[in-house]
Amino acid sequence: MSEQRIIRVLIADDHRMVRKGLAILIEGTDDLALVGEASNGREAVRLCTELRPDVVLMDLIMPEMDGVEAIRIIHQTCAHVQVVALTSYKDDTLVQSALQAGAVGYLLKDASVDDLIAAIRAAHDGKPTLSLEAMQALLQGKTQPPPLGDDLTAREREVLAALVEGLTNRQIAIQLGISPYTVNAHVSSILSKLNASSRTEAVALALQHNLLSK
């Protein structure tokens, strides 16, 4: 009979009672071992380097360094360590940020004991685990349209800036060193992307949404 594997777990959370509850859970599970606790992201990064855990349970909102930045650094410097984001927040931006930083799982803190233990084991095997709420937030984020003007090219932003200055197509062509025909094409594209019916409306939208500072 093969020897049971022991999964080394590090807890990172700024609330002492949360760490205590997780520690009790981990220490009471045969194939899990608690190797350390961190109270902020910076400490979590340091302990990952020193203790070499298999899995980190990472809170996302912490002082000194937040969980997302800590996940990003751990993913870059301790490639063997798998991180499960464990948080009270299901905001779609936060979900996306954690996963893009390198988290293999995302659970809410009201997850059941069985779900949490299953997520740790899955993370150790490199398998993703997302709570239903996190999955819904992630899908919702993917279906939301991009911010107005987000798809403007660098050249189109230059042309839009010239429109804001009140320049004509000919003046824009001279300023940018391109043909009036090309300027006209850029203006048409800008109107289409901003869903504007005129140059005046495009200028108003640019000022209203502060598009030229993006």
149 found inside a domain: no
114 found inside a domain: yes
CATH code (residue 49)? 3.40.50.2300
User: Does residue 100 register a pLDDT over 50?
Assistant: yes
Query: What does pTM read for this prediction?
Result: 0.65
Cβ atoms of residues 38 and 64 within 8 Å: no
Cβ atoms of residues 173 and 180 within 8 Å: yes
Instruction: Identify the domain containing residue 170 by its residue range.
Output: 154-213
Instruction: Count the domains in the chain.
Output: 2
Instruction: Tell me the residue type at 162.
Output: A
The reply to whether 128 and 38 lie within a common domain is yes
Beta strands across the sheet bearing 82-87: 32-38, 7-12, 55-58, 82-87, 105-108, 129-130
CATH code (residue 160)? 1.10.10.10
The reply to whether 22 and 73 lie within a common domain is yes
Tens of pLDDT, residues 2-54 = 456 899 999 999 999 999 999 999 999 999 999 999 999 999 999 999 999 99
Give the strand pairing for 105-108 and 129-130: parallel
The reply to whether 188 and 85 lie within a common domain is no
Tens of pLDDT, residues 130-186 = 887 777 766 665 555 678 888 899 899 999 999 999 999 999 999 999 999 999 999
- Domain boundary at 81, 109, 143, which? 143
62 found inside a domain: yes
Contact partners, residue 5, CB within 8 Å, separation at least 6: 31
Instruction: Report the C-alpha gap between 208 and 116 in whole angstroms.
Output: 46
1 found inside a domain: no
The reply to whether 65 and 13 lie within a common domain is yes
Instruction: Report the C-alpha gap between 6 and 27 in whole angstroms.
Output: 11
- Closest among 57, 70, 130 to 102, alpha carbons compared: 70
